[in-house]
Chain A
Amino acid sequence: DAGVTQSPTHLIKTRGQQVTLRCSPKSGHDTVSWYQQALGQGPQFIFQYYEEEERQRGNFPDRFSGHQFPNYSSELNVNALLLGDSALYLCASSKPRGGLKETQYFGPGTRLLVL
């Protein structure tokens, strides 16, 4: 049973560029959440997707956008990259509409460096 997978593992971009990160949820999960983890900090919630719609967003600008596909996989897009966007981006998946009681399981993350 495959866990949550993310690609790529590492990425280097320059300021102003755009980036797309990908996530495949754990088998049986349909809800995907994205988090940003700056160096030395705890993860911060970006947004959550299920039924192919963004359900909630954290305190992140519109440069951060996402998409969920019919197979439940998801993409995170960041436009007009800033140096401060350098971070580990974590994807987490959970079971269908389980609510508070459903544990979120994390992927290995994508390390983004913006130069």
Chain B
Amino acid sequence: AQTVTQSQPEMSVQEAETVTLSCTYDTSESNYYLFWYKQPPSRQMILVIRQEAYKQQNATENRFSVNFQKAAKSFSLKISDSQLGDTAMYFCAFMKRLQGAQKLVFGQGTRLTINP
């Protein structure tokens, strides 16, 4: 079974600092996609970044980057120059193929607070 584990229930940093959120996953598939989603108090789940497993290069989106270690099944998210608006729940997710359909398997989430 595919599982996604986020070992940090909560994190808190000062504005402008860099923070890294951890995620590990378990799968027997060779090709897959990984995602980080952000869910602010408004509840809307917003895509932050995605990584294709067959690509060795780590994905980057502005202040957000990932450290993808395929052999270790690790997919951490680094937020540089953190801003107050980054305060949210962050979910790591694995895209699983299901006989012609696709579903996201989510971790439990990490609550990130950026302090002024």
Contact = CB atoms under 8 A, between A and B. Distances in A.
A111 B44 CA distance: 12
Interface in A30-51: 33, 35, 40-45, 48, 50
Contacts of A48: 98, 101-103
A45 B45 contact: no
A106 interface: yes
Interface string B32-65: 1101010000111111001010000000000000
Interface string A100-112: 1111111111010
A81 interface: no
Interface residues of B, number: 30
B91 A45 contact: no
Given A56-B98, A108-B44, A101 B33 contact: yes
Nearest to A101: B33
B35 A103 contact: yes
Interface in A65-112: 88, 90, 92, 94, 99-109, 111
A100 B2 CA distance: 15
Interface of A: 33, 35, 40-45, 48, 50, 55-56, 58, 88, 90, 92, 94, 99-109, 111
Interface of B: 4, 31-33, 35, 37, 42-47, 50, 52, 91, 93, 95, 97-109
Sort A-B residue pairs by CB-CB distance and give the 9 closest, nearest first: A42-B106, A56-B101, A106-B45, A55-B101, A45-B103, A56-B98, A48-B101, A108-B44, A109-B43
